Amino acid sequence: MIDRGNSKQATLSRREQQVRQTKDAICAATIRCLDKYGYANTSTSRITEEAGTSRGALTHHFPTKEDLIVETTNRILRPTASLPKRADQDTGRASKDHELSLIKAELRRVWEQVANTAEARALLEILIAFRTDKKLKQRIKPELVRWNLLMQSSIVQNYKLTGGGEDERLARIWQIARVFYRGLITHDAFVENSEELDEIVNEFVDMLAPMMQYRHHKK
Amino acid sequence: MIDRGNSKQATLSRREQQVRQTKDAICAATIRCLDKYGYANTSTSRITEEAGTSRGALTHHFPTKEDLIVETTNRILRPTASLPKRADQDTGRASKDHELSLIKAELRRVWEQVANTAEARALLEILIAFRTDKKLKQRIKPELVRWNLLMQSSIVQNYKLTGGGEDERLARIWQIARVFYRGLITHDAFVENSEELDEIVNEFVDMLAPMMQYRHHKK
DNA sequence: TATAGAAAACAGAACGTTCTGTTTGTCAAT
DNA sequence: ATTGACAAACAGAACGTTCTGTTTTCTATA
């Protein structure tokens, strides 16, 4: 028997590699389909078409559609679990004005590169489906709650309230941002051109950014 | 020949009354189903069960499901077209503090009595479905854009920016509120108990309310 | 005013399509 | 040789739409 029996090993057998590739392809295709066609029109066969595999492969790795959605949700959440850590080095001796504009840029970046992506739109589709689906809710909600707490602690580590204040309030303010961005995904339904959305984002960023500052860590 | 040939008449024939009742029942049932079961699980037969009519009645009045959704959307939008007009009488000689708390109450009321209702949740389901459905989008979007502009003008009539400023900015701020509330519908997925949602709403309201004041009309 | 005939409202069955989940079969890796 | 990855065919349910038949309402004419 070979030593690679445990799950978390650097070396993967050819078979395991193949499995991982297939699963990756299927989950990635699921995200693209959710984004492009919506939850209702994302059938398993459509996913396999998009992924370039067979339905057999899908049902083998994900016996039910629910299993597929759960796994895909986890994959969407994983990479964004540590969201707002960046640019720590150049904020040491930056002026207050400069810091404010950095934070504004960061808030805008969250919209453009996190909230307004295929992954985020796919997650929204899942959230909506999940709202009225008890079984799915039971399986996914714990992950979402955990992710939310993780996100909050990450935020508290990197930011503090301007003029001081409880960390809970800071966490709440960032939650407001995420809630707002989620709502914004569907707001283009109400405006003619997307520039209006940008103006709304700017207004929102101008409102939030002055409330927070970077938290500098001691070495 | 009877004079009631024109459409907009106070008196309705028995037939028109019956038709109106049936359509009302179907659309109301559609809203309930969208809220309870979500767009994907709102089938025409389920709607007729909920409405207490037959499938024949539904297909007679709404040849396609799309027609039903379009009509239901219009019915959801209609009554909320004039949202924030109220309590104009007692704000005349109110103190600034009192006015602020009135506006905060109003913002909270919008969440509780407008944004967090079966109608609003049904609309969200439609907005999400519509995001990936070209045909539906073509038919509904003009209505939504019109509704948004109507809402904006209604807001500008009743509020002004604290310390003055363009009406466009005020309109944008209220749009932010609506976007936020829309995002909030799905946010209970991320929190354990709904009291956290209330705290977030309060935080948001405290943020927005100081930015606006009532606009007093001259007589 | 009474009534026949047209038109619309409504009911329910049937159709073809699509979906998910299951089963059977094949092939390569261990 | 045995197991797991994948492929494909299949079964049952559910969907939206179409179609046919029945009841109710309106209206023109006698």
B160 three-class SS: strand
Q: Could you tell me if residue B141 is inside a domain?
A: yes
- Enclosing domain of residue A203: 84-214
Say yes or no: Cβ of B217 under 7 A from any atom of strand D. Answer: no
Residue A157 touches chain B, beta carbons under 8 Å: no
Residue that has been written with the tokens 């707490």 in this structure: A149
Q: Mean pLDDT of all residues in chain B?
A: 89
Based on the fold, state whether residues B54 and B162 are members of the same structural domain: no
| Protein residue at shortest CA distance from C1' of C21 | A64
Residue B187 touches chain A, beta carbons under 8 Å: yes
CB contact under 8 A, A186 and B129: no
Based on the fold, state whether residues A41 and A138 are members of the same structural domain: no
Q: Could you tell me if residue B51 is inside a domain?
A: yes
Q: A128 pLDDT exceeds 60? A: yes
Based on the fold, state whether residues A164 and A118 are members of the same structural domain: yes
Average pLDDT on B12-29 reads: 90
Q: B201 pLDDT exceeds 70? A: yes
CA distance B87 to chain A (A): 27
Residue count (chain B): 219
pLDDT tens sequence across A129-151: 999 999 999 999 999 999 999 99
> Which residue among B144, B184, B189 places its CB closest to the CB of A144?
B189
Portion of chain A with pLDDT greater than 90, in percent: 79
Q: Could you tell me if residue B80 is inside a domain?
A: no
* The pLDDT of residue A8: 38
Residue B204 touches chain A, beta carbons under 8 Å: yes
Residue A128 touches chain B, beta carbons under 8 Å: yes
Q: A170 pLDDT exceeds 60? A: yes
* The pLDDT of residue A82: 62
Q: Could you tell me if residue B75 is inside a domain?
A: no
Based on the fold, state whether residues A108 and A196 are members of the same structural domain: yes
Q: Could you tell me if residue B79 is inside a domain?
A: no
Higher pLDDT, A183 or A83: A183
Average pLDDT on B116-127 reads: 97
Average pLDDT on B156-183 reads: 96
B85 pLDDT tier (thresholds 50, 70, 90)? low
Instruction: Give the Å distances, CA to CA, from B60 to B16, B25, B43, B172, B217.
Output: 14, 14, 16, 42, 48
Question: Residue A43's domain is classified under what CATH number?
Answer: 1.10.10.60
Instruction: Give the Å distances, CA to CA, from A158 to A88, A105, A152, B140, B212.
Output: 9, 15, 10, 43, 31
Based on the fold, state whether residues B58 and B102 are members of the same structural domain: no
Range 23-42, chain B: CB under 7 Å to any strand D atom: 41-42
Based on the fold, state whether residues A101 and A190 are members of the same structural domain: yes
CB contact under 8 A, A186 and B124: yes
Based on the fold, state whether residues A59 and A109 are members of the same structural domain: no
Based on the fold, state whether residues B121 and B175 are members of the same structural domain: yes
B-interface mutation test, from A135, A186, A207, most B Cβ less than 10 A away: A186
Average pLDDT on B88-106 reads: 78
| Protein residue at shortest CA distance from C1' of D28 | B1
Closest CA to A123 of A110, A114, A111, A134: A114
Q: A7 pLDDT exceeds 50? A: no
* The pLDDT of residue A139: 95
Which residues, 6 or more positions from A115, have their beta carbon under 8 angstroms from its beta carbon? A178, A181, A182, A184, A185
Based on the fold, state whether residues B122 and B170 are members of the same structural domain: yes
- DSSP-derived pairing of the beta strands A212-214 and B159-161: unpaired
* The pLDDT of residue B216: 82
- DSSP letter (8 states) at residue B38: T
Q: Could you tell me if residue A172 is inside a domain?
A: yes
In Å, the largest CA–CA distance within chain B is: 65
* The pLDDT of residue B10: 43
Q: Could you tell me if residue B172 is inside a domain?
A: yes
Average pLDDT on B95-106 reads: 92
Average pLDDT on A184-211 reads: 97
Q: Could you tell me if residue A194 is inside a domain?
A: yes
| Protein residue at shortest CA distance from C1' of D25 | B15
Average pLDDT on A100-125 reads: 96
Portion of chain A with pLDDT greater than 70, in percent: 87
pLDDT tens sequence across A30-68: 999 999 999 999 999 999 999 999 999 999 999 999 999
Based on the fold, state whether residues B93 and B59 are members of the same structural domain: no
A-interface mutation test, from B116, B179, B198, B204, most A Cβ less than 10 A away: B179
Q: Mean pLDDT of all residues in chain A?
A: 89
* The pLDDT of residue A16: 83
Phi and psi of A12, rounded to 5°?
-115, 140
CA distance A168 to chain B (A): 10
A85 pLDDT tier (thresholds 50, 70, 90)? low
Based on the fold, state whether residues B167 and B210 are members of the same structural domain: yes
Based on the fold, state whether residues B93 and B199 are members of the same structural domain: yes
* The pLDDT of residue A95: 81
Q: Which residue of B has its CA nearest to A170?
A: B203
* The pLDDT of residue B14: 77
Contact indicator for B208, B177 with CB cutoff of 8 Å = yes
* The pLDDT of residue B9: 39
B211 pLDDT tier (thresholds 50, 70, 90)? very high
Give the number of domains in chain B: 2
Spatial separation of the C-alpha atoms in residues A93 and A5, rounded to whole Å: 51
Provide the angle, in degrees to the nearest 10, between the axes of the packed helices B195-208 and A167-185. 90
CB contact under 8 A, A186 and B37: no
pLDDT tens sequence across A64-76: 999 999 999 999 9
Note the CA–C1' distance, A15 to C28, in angstroms.
Answer: 10
Say yes or no: Cβ of A55 under 7 A from any atom of strand D. Answer: yes
